[in-house]
């Protein structure tokens, strides 16, 4: 009897090569039956996965990027008995793939065959002031408020630049250097005043190979939270290049904490979650441990 694989293909994802990647996988593997679902619109996989019996599949193979994985995360966060999930690197930023050292199709195929499984954490974010039904979201990668959200919105408008769009968006908004007033609570530690941004991470990477949270561990039951007070344009500009190596966490400008939860009490500002613009402050975020089985 043939084993079954569920292939979730997002043809709109960053590189536009998701369909080609799915055909590559099929050519490399024998003795499998495939159910191939091609996304037609944002949220398509959520609607499919919520009603599908997933116990019949040996693995779920996702062909897309972090935004696609965000959909999968929200569809599966409250399900049990899940098959392992493998993310083929077909997105623009590839944050999760950078953490897993899985940046090409051959590497993904090797990981499929090695079949090492890790149950990773996810986080749950709630936005009490948002209109229903947009008051909650799950995430696996990052959730950001302030400058980082502005950068992501600009990067989305520059998708034609590929992965470079994150750096271009960052430099543009660093020059603007906006400030955001809030009270930020990380576990029981409280920060008040004007901020550049707050970013909580479950992965080490975000954007295009930016090692924003170099101490993050996918399954440690903790978020890595960065709190950046508002500083001068020149200080912020000097900090930016250090993000690619992770050396920014040694700067006195950066508060870096490992935490189970954090809150931001502030006027409504749009957020970025796993590269998607959604939700708004005020917000409450908590870690949900060891929820998604990943092929690593």
| Spatial separation of the C-alpha atoms in residues 107 and 94, rounded to whole Å | 14
The CATH number for 122-290, chosen from 1.10.3080.10, 3.30.70.890, 2.60.120.10, 2.60.200.40, is: 2.60.200.40
- Name the CA radius of gyration of the chain, rounded: 19
Task: Map out the domains of the chain as residue ranges.
Answer: 3-115, 122-290
Q: What is the pLDDT of residue 97?
A: 95
Q: Report strand pairing: 270-273 vs 276-280.
A: antiparallel
> Tokens 């065959």 label which residue?
113
Q: What pTM was estimated for this model as a whole?
A: 0.92
Q: Indicate the fold that domain 3-115 takes in CATH.
A: Rossmann fold (3.40.50)
Q: Would you state the structure tokens that stand for residue 213, as one six-digit string?
A: 């949270």
Q: For the chain, what is the mean pLDDT?
A: 92
Q: What is the pLDDT of residues 34-82, one digit of tens each?
A: 999 999 999 999 999 999 999 999 999 999 999 999 999 999 999 989 9
Q: Write down the pLDDT at residue 163.
A: 64
* Tokens at 30, concatenated: 């024998």
pLDDT for the residue numbered 58: 96
């Amino acid at each position: 009897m043939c084993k079954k694989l569920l292939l979730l293909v997002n043809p709109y994802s960053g590189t536009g090569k998701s369909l080609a990647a799915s055909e590559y996988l099929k050519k490399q593997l024998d003795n499998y039956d495939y159910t191939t679902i091609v996304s037609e619109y944002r949220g398509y996989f959520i609607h499919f996965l919520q009603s599908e019996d997933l116990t019949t599949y040996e693995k779920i193979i996702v062909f897309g990027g972090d935004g696609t994985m965000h959909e999968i995360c929200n569809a599966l966060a409250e399900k049990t008995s899940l098959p392992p999930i493998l993310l083929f690197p077909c997105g623009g930023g590839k944050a999760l793939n950078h953490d897993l050292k899985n940046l090409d199709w051959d590497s993904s195929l090797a990981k499929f065959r090695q079949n090492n499984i890790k149950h990773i954490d996810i986080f749950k974010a709630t936005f009490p002031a948002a209109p229903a039904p947009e008051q909650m979201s799950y995430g696996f990668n990052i959730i950001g408020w302030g400058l980082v959200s502005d950068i992501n919105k600009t990067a989305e408008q520059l998708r034609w630049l590929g992965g470079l769009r994150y750096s271009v968006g960052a430099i543009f908004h660093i020059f603007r250097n906006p400030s955001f007033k809030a009270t930020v609570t990380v576990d029981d530690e409280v920060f008040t005043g004007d901020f550049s941004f707050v970013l909580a991470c479950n992965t080490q990477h975000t954007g295009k190979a930016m090692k924003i949270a170099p101490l993050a561990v996918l399954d440690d039951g903790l978020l890595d939270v960065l709190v950046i007070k508002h500083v001068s344009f020149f200080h912020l500009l000097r900090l930016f290049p250090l993000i690619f190596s992770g050396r920014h966490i040694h700067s006195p400008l950066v508060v870096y904490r490992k935490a189970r939860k954090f809150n931001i009490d502030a006027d409504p500002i749009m957020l970025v979650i796993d590269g998607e613009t959604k939700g708004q402050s005020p917000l409450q975020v908590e870690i949900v441990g060891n929820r998604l089985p990943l092929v690593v």
